[in-house]
Structure 1
């Protein structure tokens, strides 16, 4: 059971020393913030979200692939007690929450905390200092997010604020996810194995996970049990057996060649009313398209930030993106309409549009209409721009222009013009020569964790750790506070099978910050001035987001600005795409790209440009949110003057002392960190509040974490 309470009290914090506030975000108030308190018990249960049984991570033993929704108001305090009753370590990251003043609570193993071992608990305690919006909480360790460790994090709208007064009060949470019928941890083990046979340019990893078997809407979907198991998964006994509706597939094949199991989500509406839909992609790999038949959607926010409203008939949404949309329920009373989600860019032959898996839910109208609303206010008082014309009539889900998403406000004057500095992010798939594993490194660098086993943030605050790993050579970008940076994100193909010309649409997430998305373009980034003169940049009203996608290739198109070219057209017909045998970057190329002296064997397919103001000190993860790529090390870190971070909270110090030790961290370095930076209340060798859950067996916990710890060490990553 979830214990939840919200109270407003006039008291000082009980742990005043554990509340940290950076100098840039300090607030003085006599009134404590309103508290939203949640207890989450994470365990592994057998569930069947689409009628196909398999083990997964669930919240509070609910038996569903739908985690608790955390709700808080701007300025409110969240106290989240996470107890790990699963048989693997976990952490929780609050995706989209900047943690300004609460940098210790970001939930990234190797950067801000050690994973929570089995039978341990940890309390995340922070104040939300940002505007209303739709965000996510999810696991940030070994693809636990894909196994079910996720939910929504909603900063509620204040309808007394004129900005949100015309938002509908009725809302639906629309959680889209992709779903494998094999546990992610088993698929990850295969993905990170050393290939038995290495072949340059065409070497196959031992067990590539492939595309998910299904898509889910709010943790529900249908499944045909007659689908061939070996075709879907291959013969790999290490993955074990799963079951279709409690009956082994191998027992039922041939008995029932078309047995549909599972259930569909139902959204009940009343004709004449308006609804706010919080649409979120909680998947691991699938770019998705979302629509409601015979209905339009008005987009009013992206990644928790207001945008100038525009109306579409379908919505593209990449992994970890969030859109708030308004639905005008103008269908006929008593009628039912399909709510459709389908995949994009990852092609196969089993989808209705040639894209891959697709699923539907139902939008069901009540028999009687509501009283028709008159003088309805438009979102933010604006008339939405109509973008419903020009959709492909045959495939209505395959066109959405990312430049339609524009900022609610114009770009601030101090962010216009050239940036203070430009940082390049180039990602490739290749075999790492250091350990012969398949990786997606950034700038030819595979990030490594500190050998002490401790997170970088407390090490850097304490002036400890391996200094050779705290810089550019380890994809840790040293950045100055209150400085403006442009990040150029290049999209390269999968270099390990060049003849396929495979291209992914990488959704990049920046922790601790939002940023302005300035533009996209084909090929290699030509530089700020050239890109601007070519009309590829939006310097007037770019969207302010925490996610940006690097697409396979985006071209200017007169009226609409860009076209997304389908992958088969790109790889076979477009002249700016080149075949290549793999990356060949020099050290100068990594830093100075696109310096004309930099020689690249690989030509990028496209680029995205963002502008970020480094206004939040700390150690912040930057990574591709395609979870297989993240597991393969497609990540880096913004290191923004960590000495400016506030004091270490007491609960956090207990976590370092107990949980880092349980995960095998160096005890001498740990003791030194706590001595230098830990709060004075902490009894390093005493018992002032252990983080073990009741009944914990530390020796058993240590044994349970051993395999996962070895996998992380082998990967050489801070997190995966």
Structure 2
């Protein structure tokens, strides 16, 4: 049991530690043996766990990328598996996390720091790693069960139950510390400001006046304090490890200098606050150049009205460790997110550009360094919507396809390696095969519905299936991700009421197997004329980037990394609901799967199954998990 924010709950720990750090020197072989010792009644939407190495290209190690049923079968309870690969990435800040269900929301993640195998030019006195995470009191996989029940009220029954959103996080944590009683809680979508009144540096264990709701065994909680010494410069490795919230991070009275984004050095950029979305990492320099004392460290979620803010303390050595800052606590909804113009200022370091690029800084530099390659051989448009399927289920989709995990029970990459014509053989099989969305398990004989995102005849109506793009040959590929209204492209079949479902959300898209150049972004609809405004000189080079409401982004990558790579939204619940597409790259050069991979189960869980309340109770019982529904 943990009590990270003064609410006692079960979390996933590794070697009895929350979110442990892995450090490795570039060029070393990393071996990590994962033992799955989760209890057998832990609610899961897959049969086990996997580990993804977020931000690593995994060249030559494509089977170790760690997406369940895409690269490997999960590590089931009571078994273990060793990930083993050479780390050949730019030294910097990365992270590892679960990628089977949504188990990383329960703490199954941690920093991954790649050190240079020589000296580093960046000057600072000390460094810290700062994890920023939104925190839910329920067990994460249990919270997803309600997402699969009918959204359409006419298709809900007492047995099926109805669609239930996960709502807002109960708190925001810094390095697993926070206090959920700091803020009032508004209902989901609440447009009214909420009040936050942080009152203590720590809360003692057990039930007390400060936490009358607590169990006698509650371990209490402590506010995160970042302690610094006056006059020193600190490198902060900031990672947004949350599951829902885009965060604005501020250190009262102190500016930050951005020096790296998603592992790659950037032009130094001074900001008053740092905007960081899910999956992103920024390395920033903080100078302890103010009068010694206590200052607020705050994280304020954006685009989620009613969300609580998170409060830590930037404490100068010698300041009163029991005292909070004397200034009023900054409130949620009082600070706007970065504009597109501000975001455009995060650009590649000049040391990585051109033929004279410093080759000790980055892996896989071409003859022109990290300058983006010339015109794209292909341009792929991915329209992002939130359709209502004929089953009454609400999904997230790209080009009208909501991509599920399983069927079948074998990893897709294995099947493609064994059957080079796999995608052709299974393309657009009869949709009738999976109209039964109550189905929970499938056998190995089940076949997927395969859709091709770049097909000459795009999918006209929303469907559930597996969506692929085939690329390779070192081709330069442009991908346009276009945010569209929820009901666009025939996405809501209900007369009248469906026409009103026009909302859009921001989405942090992450690309496995690649960093990409962010050539441009804008509001409204993308068209080909936007290419005239692309930044081809020194764009951001990222693996995770935000598509804003009513907006688009244009990214470019070179298809030269054999494997099967997932492009997906990093909001866990959007990913679970289908917001992803798979890029099959250099299929003929994919290596052989490791012989010691976890064994695949005879039957496997279909994550788009309805997960009706009766089914959940039958599989997992009804005790121990507050969010079980």
- Which residue matches 2:517? 516
Q: 1:245 to 1:365 in 2, by over 3 A?
A: closer
Q: Which whole-Å CA distance do the structure 1 matches of 2:304 and 2:486 have between them?
A: 13
Query: Residues 514 and 544 of structure 1 are in contact (CA less than 8 Å); yes or no, is this contact kept in structure 2?
Result: yes
State the secondary structure of the residue aligned to 1:461.
helix
- What are the Cα deviations for residues 581-638 of structure 1, in whole angstroms up to 9, with x where unaligned? xxxxxxxxxxxxxxxxxxxxxxxx2110001111101111111101110010101100
- Which residue matches 1:283? 242
Where do residues 84-483 of structure 1 align in structure 2 (5 Å cutoff)?
84-87=36-39, 88=44, 89-157=48-116, 160=119, 164-195=120-151, 197-198=153-154, 206-224=163-181, 252=212, 262-333=221-292, 335-348=293-306, 356-367=307-318, 395-396=334-335, 398-399=337-338, 401-408=342-349, 409-410=352-353, 412=368, 415-433=372-390, 435-449=391-405, 451-463=407-419, 467-468=426-427, 469=449, 472=452, 474-483=466-475
TM-score by length of 1: 0.66
Query: Residues 560 and 586 of structure 2 are in contact (CA less than 8 Å); yes or no, is this contact kept in structure 1?
Result: no
State the secondary structure of the residue aligned to 2:153.
coil
Query: Residues 282 and 319 of structure 1 are in contact (CA less than 8 Å); yes or no, is this contact kept in structure 2?
Result: yes
Cα offset for 1:357? 1.3
Cα offset for 1:194? 3.0
- What are the Cα deviations for residues 264-311 of structure 1, in whole angstroms up to 9, with x where unaligned? 111111111111000000000100000100001000000001111110
Q: Which whole-Å CA distance do the structure 1 matches of 2:92 and 2:235 have between them?
A: 12
Cα offset for 1:403? 0.2
Structure 2 gap ranges (5+): 191-203, 320-332, 355-367, 428-448, 454-465, 493-497, 612-629
Q: Which whole-Å CA distance do the structure 2 matches of 1:274 and 1:489 have between them?
A: 38
Query: Residues 248 and 337 of structure 2 are in contact (CA less than 8 Å); yes or no, is this contact kept in structure 1?
Result: yes
Query: Residues 131 and 175 of structure 2 are in contact (CA less than 8 Å); yes or no, is this contact kept in structure 1?
Result: yes
* Residue of 531, 538, 563 corresponding to 1:541: 538
- Which residue matches 2:587? 642
Q: Which whole-Å CA distance do the structure 2 matches of 1:229 and 1:487 have between them?
A: 37
- What are the Cα deviations for residues 378-398 of structure 1, in whole angstroms up to 9, with x where unaligned? xxxxxxxxxxxxxxxx94554
Query: Residues 52 and 245 of structure 1 are in contact (CA less than 8 Å); yes or no, is this contact kept in structure 2?
Result: no
Q: Which whole-Å CA distance do the structure 1 matches of 2:110 and 2:250 have between them?
A: 22
Q: Which whole-Å CA distance do the structure 1 matches of 2:123 and 2:602 have between them?
A: 50
- Which residue matches 1:618? 563
TM-score by length of 2: 0.75
- Which residue matches 1:664? 602
Q: 1:263 to 1:445 in 2, by over 3 A?
A: same
Query: Residues 225 and 260 of structure 1 are in contact (CA less than 8 Å); yes or no, is this contact kept in structure 2?
Result: no
Q: 1:634 to 1:460 in 2, by over 3 A?
A: same
- Which residue matches 1:531? 530
Cα offset for 1:153? 0.7
Structure 1 gap ranges (5+): 1-45, 234-243, 349-355, 369-393, 553-604, 666-705, 716-720
Q: 1:199 to 1:313 in 2, by over 3 A?
A: farther
State the secondary structure of the residue aligned to 1:404.
coil
Q: Which whole-Å CA distance do the structure 1 matches of 2:587 and 2:609 have between them?
A: 25
Q: Which whole-Å CA distance do the structure 2 matches of 1:197 and 1:124 have between them?
A: 45
Q: Which whole-Å CA distance do the structure 2 matches of 1:494 and 1:440 have between them?
A: 9
* Residue of 55, 72, 76 corresponding to 2:28: 76
Cα offset for 1:157? 3.9
Cα offset for 1:420? 0.3
Cα offset for 1:450? 5.7
Q: 1:226 to 1:462 in 2, by over 3 A?
A: closer
Q: Which whole-Å CA distance do the structure 1 matches of 2:475 and 2:149 have between them?
A: 41
Query: Greater helix percent: which structure?
Result: 1
State the secondary structure of the residue aligned to 2:469.
strand
Q: 1:229 to 1:308 in 2, by over 3 A?
A: closer
Q: 1:627 to 1:419 in 2, by over 3 A?
A: same
Query: Residues 175 and 279 of structure 1 are in contact (CA less than 8 Å); yes or no, is this contact kept in structure 2?
Result: yes
Q: 1:713 to 1:116 in 2, by over 3 A?
A: farther
State the secondary structure of the residue aligned to 1:438.
coil
Q: 1:67 to 1:648 in 2, by over 3 A?
A: same
Query: Residues 264 and 360 of structure 1 are in contact (CA less than 8 Å); yes or no, is this contact kept in structure 2?
Result: yes
Q: Which whole-Å CA distance do the structure 2 matches of 1:221 and 1:498 have between them?
A: 41
Q: Which whole-Å CA distance do the structure 2 matches of 1:324 and 1:523 have between them?
A: 31
Where do residues 26-45 of structure 1 align in structure 2 (5 Å cutoff)?
none
| Paired positions, count | 509
Q: Which whole-Å CA distance do the structure 2 matches of 1:634 and 1:248 have between them?
A: 44
Kindly indicate whether residue 507 of structure 2 is the aligned counterpart of residue 506 of structure 1.
Answer: yes
State the secondary structure of the residue aligned to 1:424.
strand
* Residue of 10, 21, 40 corresponding to 1:55: 10
Where do residues 481-630 of structure 1 align in structure 2 (5 Å cutoff)?
481-495=473-487, 499=500, 501-527=502-528, 530-533=529-532, 535=533, 537-552=534-549, 605-630=550-575
Cα offset for 1:494? 3.1
Q: Alignment RMSD, CA only?
A: 3.2
- What are the Cα deviations for residues 360-411 of structure 1, in whole angstroms up to 9, with x where unaligned? 111111249xxxxxxxxxxxxxxxxxxxxxxxxx945543521011112447
Cα offset for 1:503? 2.5
Q: 1:248 to 1:190 in 2, by over 3 A?
A: farther
Q: 1:290 to 1:500 in 2, by over 3 A?
A: farther
Q: Which whole-Å CA distance do the structure 1 matches of 2:169 and 2:186 have between them?
A: 13
Flag the structure with larger Rg. 1
Cα offset for 1:421? 0.1
Q: 1:481 to 1:280 in 2, by over 3 A?
A: same
Q: Which whole-Å CA distance do the structure 2 matches of 1:360 and 1:227 have between them?
A: 14
- What are the Cα deviations for residues 59-102 of structure 1, in whole angstroms up to 9, with x where unaligned? 1223xxx3111111111111000000113511110000111011
